[in-house]
Structure 1
Amino acid sequence: MAQELIDLLWREHPLAPRGGARGPRAKVTTSQAVDAAIALADAEGLDAVTARRLAADLGISAMAVYTHVGSLEDLRVLMLDTACARHRPALYADEGWRGRVRQVAKSELDLYSGHWWILDIADQRTALGPGTIAKYDHELRAFDGAGLSDIDRDAALTFVLDFARSSAQARRPDPRAADMAAAWSAWGPRLAAYLGDDYPLAQRVGAAAGEAMDAAYSPAAAWEFGLARVLDALRAVIG
């Protein structure tokens, strides 16, 4: 039987309970099972991480998987916490809060870009893990010297991370993107004919934005514009 999730999350801590000496030694460790699950999710997505598939990759039985991770829901929490622990952000290079917060936002976007499956996990128990807590502590320090209360510091960080998550959703690879580009190229003139003089504002703004970005949508342009507005909004609170 697997340990409780809290003990699995902190399995490397000196205070974590250890298994007994009796019985045959397990072929794999919990950390190896989590590593294999992360590799599988990186390659094929979170839905590919099943007990049967993971067991095949590890060379163990499907039931043995559950002796290491408890449940697939627990496994996802372990995967996310491990990803956070490995995503070690650089030391803050800017002395001002604005530069540090920008660094936090970019680091969060990089985390999603390295593991798109994280966007599919919404289990709040991830907040209990050592990797997630260490990440949270580092991110909070971006607001040092900003004069925020503890509650406002937490809220400000959540505001920034929520923006980064929504931006990551927009950047997530979409196999239909090529189809949309082809459809726009092939059907653009016919769409213009259908529209005629209707929706002049949408047509004017859409044409200007499309020409500026050389695309119907630019994640990079949306990121820079949105992050600047996030920082401006925080300045009103911090100032």
Structure 2
Amino acid sequence: MYRTRVTVEYPGKGDPARSLALLWRTSERASRKGKPELSVERIVRAAIEVADAEGLQALSMRRVAERLGVGTMSLYTYVPGKPELFDVMLDTVYGETARPEDVPGGWRGRLEQIARENRALYLRHPWLLQVAASRPVLGPNVTAKYDYELRAVDGIGLTDVEMDAVITLITGFVHGTARGAVEAAQIESQTGLTDEQWWAAHAPFFARIADTERWPVATRVGQAAGEAMNSAYSPEHAFEFGLQRVLDGIQALVERRVT
């Protein structure tokens, strides 16, 4: 697994007209010189594979061309450039989330399903955690995803602005906990130690310096959490516990609206 860099990538840096035309396929037409084995879909899929395997820092038109076994200039017949390609990559992966219509548990069950789908998406494509979310790409998959997620809370007593805020709250929470899960996986590959091995190596030294009188609460709680999760940090526990608390807060808001 590649190591996530701190840098942030920003969508929408390409030419707006070209990006939107590519996203919505309004002018997908290769020239006569275009290679018949290439298409926008193949190029985008190859770019996603590069990002999945090597991270966004490795993504370039040349690297995508290498993966496809063609010359770099061949790609420009189908894709204007890397910024526009990046926008379509984002829209494509956001189209992967499942959107079932019959989800048990009412609005709460629907939001939980949305949270789990978004988390799974980040874990499949960790490079998404490097993408600024303040300006979403205006593609068909992003639009369909947003519409589906809003419908999870439509008609439960919230205003339109509150509906948007609830989805932002859920996806923001998932983004944070997914980052923790990815980092937890990467630290094992980078250090060569599992959490259990790390604790086993550090426990004897920590026992010597731990001061229960000076830090009684931290000692007690840290020990209890470590024993319960067998780790200093459990991304799964953070997600499961936090998701229910977020839903509790939304439920309190909904109940105030209907009473």
**CA displacement at 1:177 relative to structure 2:** 6.1
Q: Which runs of 5+ in 1 are unaligned?
A: none
> Following the alignment from structure 2 to structure 1, what is the Cα–Cα distance between the partners of residues 133 and 217?
42
Identity of aligned residues (%): 40
In the TM superposition, what are the counterparts of 1:24-173 in structure 2 within 5 Å?
24-27=33-36, 28-94=38-104, 96-122=106-132, 124-172=134-182, 173=185
| Kept in 1: contact 2:18–2:84 (CA 8 A) | no
Counterpart residue number, 1:221? 237
Structure 1 residues 95 and 144, CA gap change in structure 2 (3 angstroms): farther
TM-score by structure 2 length? 0.81
**CA displacement at 1:8 relative to structure 2:** 0.5
Letter in 2 for 1:220: E
> Following the alignment from structure 2 to structure 1, what is the Cα–Cα distance between the partners of residues 42 and 200?
47
The structure with the greater share of residues assigned to helix is 1
Q: 2:218 aligns with which of 197, 202, 206?
A: 202
| Kept in 2: contact 1:92–1:103 (CA 8 A) | no
TM-score by structure 1 length? 0.88
Aligned length: 233
Tell which has more relative contact order, 1 or 2 (C-alpha 8 A, sep 6+): 2
| Kept in 2: contact 1:81–1:126 (CA 8 A) | no
| Kept in 1: contact 2:97–2:118 (CA 8 A) | no
**CA displacement at 1:39 relative to structure 2:** 1.7
Q: Would you identify which runs of 4 or more consecutive aligned residues in structure 1 move more than 4 Å?
A: none
Decide which moves more: 67-76 or 221-230.
67-76
| Kept in 2: contact 1:36–1:54 (CA 8 A) | yes
| Kept in 2: contact 1:6–1:129 (CA 8 A) | yes
Q: CA RMSD in A?
A: 2.2
Deviations 1:108-149 (A, max 9, x none): 111112211211222655330101111111111110231111
Q: Secondary structure at the match of 1:167?
A: helix
Counterpart residue number, 1:233? 249
> Following the alignment from structure 1 to structure 2, what is the Cα–Cα distance between the partners of residues 73 and 195?
52
Counterpart residue number, 2:206? 191
| Kept in 2: contact 1:77–1:123 (CA 8 A) | no
| Kept in 1: contact 2:96–2:121 (CA 8 A) | no
> Following the alignment from structure 1 to structure 2, what is the Cα–Cα distance between the partners of residues 228 and 91?
22
Q: Which runs of 5+ in 2 are unaligned?
A: 1-14
